[in-house]
Structure 1
Amino acid sequence: MSVNERSLPRKLSIKLPVLSENALITIIAVGFLFLHILAGVILLKTPAATPQEEARPSLYD
């Protein structure tokens, strides 16, 4: 065994189960939906009005 072969990290022998195509599509769809809901909540969040802002009379009425 050469020096280069000994210094290379060993590959992990963890085998992940093979997912079906339907499972992968479902995971992608749920992630897509979650990201869009999160983006909508962040982008459409409006600051809460304080009582002082609500009680202030409008100058243009």
Structure 2
Amino acid sequence: MTDLVIPIAVMLLVVLGEALWLQWRQACSVDWQDVIFNLNSGHIMLWLFRGLEIACYGYVARAL
């Protein structure tokens, strides 16, 4: 993986983990549409998939 993917993937896991924890442990209602909308509206997903794209290009370049 590249240096771009790791921090963004960790941040994504932390956000989703916090929402799951709030829903299950504190019996709060989590608006999942709002959580996903906020993730998609930012550059989180853009940079995550850009980092994965760079990792795939690096893998192909090393394999050939």
For normalisation by structure 1, the TM-score amounts to 0.40
Q: Which has the higher helix share?
A: 2
For normalisation by structure 2, the TM-score amounts to 0.39
Larger radius of gyration: 1
